[in-house]
Amino acid sequence: MKNNLYHRFDFRCLAVVLFSIYIIWNSSAYCQSSVSTDIVHNNTLLREITIKTALNPPEGFKLRVLPRFYGTPDARLEEGTIFNYINGAGENYIKHGFNFVGNILLENSTGDRITIDIFDLSSIENAQDAFEDKNICAPGSSPLDLGIRLEAKVYSYPPDYMLYFVENRFLVQISLDNDAFKDTAQVLSAQIIKLINEK
């Protein structure tokens, strides 16, 4: 019993320390770069939201890889630009003031995956415009009330399930490859909305 508690405590401490180092290292790296202070601030906020979400995965899921961050051709992040992530589809986000995207990939023991993409689109207006763009949020969604200003959009294409919403300047896309976990997507949404509004 004592050993178990010791191991659990040790693991959590280690995880927090590692992620703290990760955040500090990334923030300092970008402070030294040539990007403007405003972008550094925006970038840091996106990182905080992404990493805090990643630190608290739903039960049964764990991070498949460390969170990844992609920027624009003018402000590349460590994994490169949005085009390295989603190829030509990146143009649609660039049109709406895209700054950065944070990506989280979660997986459970049976291989079911949850992908979370948090797009920083510079302003509330841009985020809302992107949310109405049919090249980003295709027609055919169902509305879902998450208690925020705009109803979320839900897409059900079995076995895939997607939940998109906008909060502040962030467009959030949660994609599941197994719709059995759609309730989990709603829990994650609430968690991310809370994190955004804390800032």
Binding positions for another protein, rule: CB under 8 A: 73, 83-89, 91, 105, 115, 134-135, 138, 140, 155, 157-160, 162, 173, 175, 177
Q: Which helix (H) or strand (E) holds 146?
A: none
Min dist. Cβ of residue 31 to another protein (A): 27
Residue closer to another protein, measured from CB, 10 or 91: 91
Residue 69, C-beta contacts closer than 8 angstroms, at least 6 positions apart: 26, 43, 46, 47, 50, 77, 78, 79, 100, 101, 102, 103
Q: What is the DSSP string of 61-72?
A: EEESS--EEEB-
Residue 71 beta carbon to another protein: minimum distance, rounded to whole angstroms? 14
Q: Min. distance of Cβ 150 from another protein in angstroms?
A: 19
Q: Which is nearer to another protein, 115 or 191 (CB)?
A: 115
Give CA–CA dist 64/87, Å, rounded. Answer: 21
Closest contact distance (angstroms) between CB of 116 and another protein is: 11
In the block, residue with structure tokens 């829990």: 187
In the bound state with another protein, the residue whose beta carbon lies nearer, of 88 and 147, is 88
SS3 125: helix
| Choice between 60 and 159, CB closer to another protein | 159
Residue 191, token pair as written in the block: 């968690």
**Shortest Å distance, C-beta 186 to another protein:** 17
- The DSSP line for 152-177 is EEEEEETTEEEEEEEETTEEEEEEES
Nearer to another protein, 27 or 156 (CB): 156
